[in-house]
Structure formats: C-alpha cells, structure tokens
Structure 1
Amino acid sequence: MPASVAPWVVFMLLWLTLPVVTPVRRQYETATESMISLNPPWTAFFQGEKVTLACYRYGFRLPQKTKWYRNGKALREITVHTFRFSVSGEYQCQADDLHLSISVHLHFDEGPLVLRAPPAVFEGEPVTLRCHAKESIAQKTLTFYKNYDTLKPSGQRSQLLIRHANPSDNGVYRCSGKKEWSWSSTSSNSITIQVQELFPRPVLRARPSQPVDGSPVTLTCQTRLPAQRSNVQLQFCFFRNFQARALGLGCSSSSELHIPAIWTEDSMSYWCMAEAMDAQVRKRSLAIKIPVQRASADFQIHSVPALTSVFEGQLLLFNCSVKGVPGPIKFSWYKRDKLNKETKTPKSSEAEFKISAVNSSDAGDYYCEANNSRRNFVSKAVPVTIKVPVSQPVLTLSTGKTRALEGELMTLHCRSWRGSPHIRYEFYYEDVFLEINSTLSGGGASFNFSMTTERSGNYYCTADNGLGAQRSEAVRISIIETTKNRRVTVAAGIAGGLLIVAGSAAGVLFYCWFSRKAGGKPAFDDSRDPSHSEPQEPTYYNVPACIELQPVYSNDPKEEVIYTEVRRTQQNCKHAVQKTENRTPRCQMAE
C-alpha cells in the first residue's frame, strides 16, 4: 500500500468498492472493477468545502492512468489517481482498462446544517449520523428525524447512534436546529439509509452429493461477503437433524467440514449456520438430505498359476483387490468344500493368500472378505481343482483265478486308486490294444471276454488323466485243456466202476446161496433137481436192494487231471418167481 494512503482512506475505500463476491476462505478473488475512496469519509459537505477522491485497482494498486466521470459524463483526462472536487454530483472513476467504479453522490449544501452519514450501511454494524451546524445554530436545539418522526436524542445531541443496523432502520433521515433567541428552525439535507445484507443466507452443499457407504464427505457452508466488508470474520457451525450440538470440533472459521466416513445410517438432514461475531449477525441454511448409497464392492481375484492348471505339489498364490470400498480394509480368506462346509483359512488377514504345496484336500471354492470396520463385503467364489496324476493301476480278475475253461466268461477290472478325473483306461493282451474305457468316478473300468485257447497269455491295463499314463502289472491267464485228459480219466473211471459192480454181484449170489442153505435145505436136496415136479414158492430173507453204480466227474482246479468218482445209489430189485425146470431162483439186477 502506498505510504500516502492514510488508514481512514483505506477504510473509506472498503466502503466504496463494488460488492464483488469473495469466498469466505478467499480461495479465489476476481475483481475487474475500479475502486474509489473519499477523504474525509462522508458524502455531505458545506458549500466551499472540498473532498479528495482516489481511484485504485483492486488490492490498492495504483493505476497507470485514470478517467473521471460526473453524472455519467467524462471529465478531462487526468493522469493522477486522486482529484479534489467541490461540486455536487455523481462521481465515478476508471483505473486503466478496468470497469467503472460505483457511483458516489457528493452533496455541497449552502445552509447552516449538514447531516453526514457513511455511504453504505450493512446489517449488524453500528452507524453514527452526525448533524454538523455552523456557529449560529444552538447545539441544544438539534433534533433528528426519521421519515418525519422525531427521534429521541442520544448522549450527544449532534449524533444519532444506531448500535446494530437492521432493515427496520431503513428510511430517510434529517436533522434540524434553531438559532439562538429564534423561534424558527432550520432543516438539514436528507439522507436515505438503506441497510445492506452483510452476507446472504448460507447454502449447504455436500461433496459428493450422494456418497457411498463408508466414503468421505465434505460439507461446505456457502455464503459471501461484499468487497466492502471482506475483512469481516465469519465462523461456521454444522448440524445434523435437529441436534443442538455442532458436528466435528464445533464452530470454526472454516466454511468446510470434512467427514472421514459416512454410513447408510447417517442418511439424515444436515444444515449449517454462518455467524459474524462482531456484527452479531447469524444466519442458518436450509436443511438438505444426504442419501448415503450402499457400497458396491468390485472384487478382483488373481491367482498364480491360473486356476485351470493347478497341479498337486505346486505353489498356489491368491491376491484379492477391491474397489468401491473405503479403507482401511482387512481381508479374510475362506474355503467352501463339496459339502458346503465353510472354513476360514489361516494367515488370512492380508489381501494375499498362499498355499506352499497344494494337495487334493485343498480343492474347493475360495473367496475373500473385505472388512472396513463397519461393513463386510464378500467376493464371488473361485473354484479350485487340483490335478493329481494317476497312480499305478491294479488289474484284477472277477473270478480271482488265472485258469479258466474254454468258453468261460472272464472279466478284467482296472483301477487307479489316486488321480483326478477324467481317467482313461486301456486294456492290452500281449501288447495288443483291446478296448478303451473312461470314467469320471474312482470306480475304475472293466473289460469282458470269452476265454479261448487263443486268448491265453499276458494281460495288462493303463490309466491316464492327461498328467502321464501308468501301466499295471501283467496278469497271465491260461486255459484248461479238457479233451485229452478226459479220455484217460473216464476210461479209468469206467473200469473201476465195473470192478465194483462185479464185486457187488458176486456178493449178492453168495448171499442168495447162503440164504438157501439156511432154510434147512441141503445143497443137494431133491428140490434142486430139475425133475422135481412139486411147485414151491421161493422164500427170501433180508435180500439186499440192488445197487446201481453211476460215475460222477469232478476236477481239482489246481490240477490238470480229471478224476472220476463212482457213487452208489439204491433202487428196488425186481424179483420174479419163475417156474423152471431146475426151480432155481434168480435175482435180476438193473443196469
């Protein structure tokens, strides 16, 4: 500021600048209008007095050139920024190429009384009206009027004090006085007082206007001070619903309130209040509703290696990242198995989760959970399938025997006890491919064939699930040749059977002879003589039943020889009494 500018000039300058909008926090200031000041700082004078007007750029900077205007007409161009005037009228100035300043009305009165007042009055401020009189007017007779109403005098009769200006103080003011020893009064000039608003009603703004659950919010209580009163200090308070307690740390000089995190339960009405402490002006904003949106978490899960090729024994690494969720965030990892059982994995307080060497039990669905101390957000499940190579398959026979008769149905069963599906089984005979059979389960595969002499030999199978084929141990299957062995054994069986039959017949004959003798008849009795004519019924005692011998074949699976077993079955003998000449009884045996 130039040293020639006195403090009271600066004060007057603030009164007479245009009402440029200035943010409370002075984040930006734009002023393209010229500024005018008065010395002395009022607009009414006695005739013959002079007033000095000064023109400045914004910020009290001196212009390079100045133009002056009276009643809208340009005066002669003056290069200095100050000029003295003594003629009534409306005055303006232009500093350099800026816009014109506001109009200042100067009044020079010829009477004995002059009412002096500031050029601008703002709400809440103290205002002093001064009634200046020449010596001929008695001070004790001075009286103030508002809209023709007499006002009560204050302490000093030459001054009228308005402690806190408000719109009710608007009106036309004047003063009057009397000369000594005179009954007539003299009136001063009239001044119109129009109390201006110190700052408009504040407006509350939320940034963002629709915050997400848990995100930060900045509340701004917006208002403005006129350039003439840009030095006024305001303080701001923020409230929620109809609570009497201010949010945050209470009222402060900042027009902003930062809320680190706002939640859905904080979806309420908010309002603010701006207050000028010195001027005792306080204004409240309208309430606004801040709708807090439920957060939508955007999860990204990356794995090394890719989940489509995780082999047993490999290192498996997960990394979970999330967008849309305000922090700080704590991560947890969970695994869901085939039975829908959920398990929290250890060491899961970070976004990264690692399994040093996976095995088949690590298969399942994995998902991560993000927690920001107020909410839990869960990602979609990621399926993990562990690829396990097949173990060496085992080839078995359904009968459990490696020897078979010709034409007997044989079933080979091949199974790997470990290995991830899908498993492909192949059967071979003496390195000759027989059949392919695949399975998704662990039941293995089977191959059926009818045994022939040509199919005796070594059999094996292979199992493969794409991670390397495995071959079973070979199983040798042989056929039992029954044709040659059966001829020998059957012949021996028949011969033995005949011997038994012959022995049995001899025994029967001997028994018949013995019984005959036991009946009291001599062996050489007449009755034995064929010439004996008297018929006689033969009598038999305890004659054993005739015995039929039948061969039954059986074989030992461990031997190649077929044995023949002859069993005895009893059946009734058919005895007949025949009249023969020798009258000898005969026993007929069925074959």
Structure 2
Amino acid sequence: MLLWVLLLILGLLSRQAAIAKKSVVEPRPSWTPILEGEAVTLICHGVGPLKEERAWWYKNQQLRGILSTIIQTNHPGEYRCQTQGSTLSDPVNLVFSSELFSPPELKTTTSEPIEGTPVNLSCETQLSPQRLDTKLYFSFTRDGMVITSSGKNSHVLQIPTIQTKDSGSYRCEAKAVTQNILKQSNYVKISVKIPVSQPFFNLSAFRAQASVGDVVEFHCKVLRGSFPIQYQFYHENTILENKIALSGDAVSFNLTMTVGHSGNYFCKANNSFSYQLSKNLTLSISDPIRSQTNTNIMEITVALIIIFNLTIVVLVVYFKLLRKSGRSSTPNPYRVSSISDLQEPVYSNPSSQKELMPIYGNVNPVAENVVYSEVTSKEYGKEANNTKKLPEIEDSPVIYAEVKQKHQPRDSKKTNAADRRQDVAEN
C-alpha cells in the first residue's frame, strides 16, 4: 500500500516537471496589430537563464534556426520557440498594419454648392487606440494643386464664399510626421452651381406694334447660369410656351397675333435652384379691317355734323330774312338798290346828310366763274346840322350781296383799263 502511494507521488511530480519545462514566447509590445515598419521583440522563456540559453525558433511551423532567446522581427506570422530542457511553446501571431491611423475620408457639406455660399470640407480619420497622442498634419488638394487650409493640424477646410473657380476634384492627406506615414483620402467632386442672371427678352415686332395675323418671334436668354435652364414665356400672367436650354443659346418661339394678344409680355429663366424674370414689353395689336371701318364711321360722322351745322346756319339765315321781310314795307334807308349805284347812295331821310362809303369785296369764291360780293356801309365825314340820328341796324352789317358771273377778259390790258375807269367813276 505504501509503495503505491510513492509511485503516485512520483508520477505527479514528473508531470509537473514536464509542464514547467514548456517554453513561452513573449512579444513586446504586447498589442496587435503592430504598425508597419516597427520591430517586435520576441522573448523565449525556458528553464534556464535567458542570456545563457539558446532557443530553437519556428515561423509558420518552419525552423528558422537556433538563435538567442531574445530576437527582433518586423514580419508578420506565427512564431514558436523551445529551449534546452523544455518543450515547444504555444504559437504567437504577429499582425502588422498601417493602423497608426485609418485612411482618411473626405467629407463635404454639399457637393453642389450655390455660388456665393459657404462650404466646409473635413478630412476624417481615427488614430490607433495605443497611439492617441500621435500628431497628424492635414492638407487639401484640388485637381492636384495644394490648397492652403486654416491650419496644418486642422482637419477642416473652410471656404466662406465658394466661386465658380472652386469647382473641381478635392482630396485630403493625413501625415504622421514622426513615423513618416502619409495617407490620402478618396476624391470628392464639387460642382459649383451658378444662379441665373436676369434674362434678356425681345421680340421681332416693329416698334412693339403688330397687326392681326402677323407672326411675332419672341426671344429669351441669360448670360450666366448653370444648365439646364427652363424658359417660360408669359402674356400677362398666362404661360404661352415652355422651353429647355442645355447650352448657352437663346430660346425662341413664334406666335400668330390676334386682337386678344395685345398687352404685356415677359419671360422667366429657372435652373431648379434660382429664377429671374425679364422686363416687361408691351405689344399693341391693330386690326386693319376694324380700323378702316372705324375710319369710315368717323368720316361719315364728321360729314353728318358738317351737314347738320350747315343746315342750322341756313335755317338761321332763312329765319332772319323772313323776319326782315315781315317788317315795314318802307324801304330801308340804308339799303342800296344795286351795285352799280353804290357810288351814289340814296337815303330816305336827306336831312341826316350822312354819306355811306361802300365797301365790297369777293368773299371766298367757290366756283371758277362765280364771285360772291359783299357790300357794307361805313360812315365818314361830320354830321350835318340836322341832329337826327340814323336808325341802328339790328342785323348783320351786310347791306347788299349779289352773285354775279365772273367773265374772263380776252385782253388783260383792256380789262385792266376798264377796271380803272370804273373805279374812277365809282369814286
């Protein structure tokens, strides 16, 4: 019985000795992954002093050689070791990576900003948890050209008012200066959108006037603005036509005029994020048939008014003559009997001794051979001793009028001489 107890104790001691003789691989640093370019120290712990012992090193189950119990490597793989008097160690996997920091990602507030608005670009990356104190420098490029950022260690690029020239492909870089590690981000394309300017609007009508049936061409164009641009043509507040422009050419459309097309016209330019209205143009549409009809009506109206006025005048003259004829049959002392006797006026009351000087002349001859003569009287000289006043003429100063035939003399010299003799005789 005692023998069996001794044997059991010896077996346990031998098993513990075997376990204690198993080698152990210790990596320094102990974390993984390890940055590329950095060396890792591997220590093989056995049963004897480290400096005095030598160890068998295995990589990926292949013997690398009999080396010191302390080695350095910068290659990934599975490492084992074994010292004299100990068994083979458990494997240790070495993983190398560039994860001092992750590859940066470029982000932007918008990839299609409107001209004049602010835009921010940020270079996003993450440091390794074991290297949070690493200093990173950031830079930004556009189409391969370096853009000055707000700070070398700032991961944000601010553009207060972006312009058309700022369009392009952007990229950022993150660099760890002490480790000399440089990483670049993805490309981000930024296209700056340009708001439309006020469109120019014109039409082919001459002096903004057209007639019914005319075909008028309308034009609309902007000088600045991102395409595509939608153009709309308006008559007052009604849309007449829609057009889409993919380039900088002006758009146009034709319209056949009717009377109802008189009024204000304008166009609108829209590129989905901005729009502008043109100035108004007024177009007057005339109807030749209606205009001619109106002209004819006006002419007839004027003629009727003239006839009416002439009728009124004739009636007034007629009633005046009728009124005169109804008075005393005694001849008017101031009425001259005939044109031939005008040089010797006769008065019914000779005591007044006032002479009347005949004045007559042609009044607006109408026909070629007809002369309208008007004879009036005019006082001259001083009154006689007889103080009796002449009766007032109630009506017109016209005393006598006669229509006579105007004869064309054959000999102008003879006619002129006869006229002079007649004038002398009358005076």
Give the structure-2-normalised TM-score.
0.46
Q: Select the structure with the greater relative contact order (CA < 8 A; seq sep ≥ 6).
A: 2
Which structure dedicates a bigger proportion of its chain to helix? 2
Give the structure-1-normalised TM-score.
0.35
Which structure dedicates a bigger proportion of its chain to strand? 1
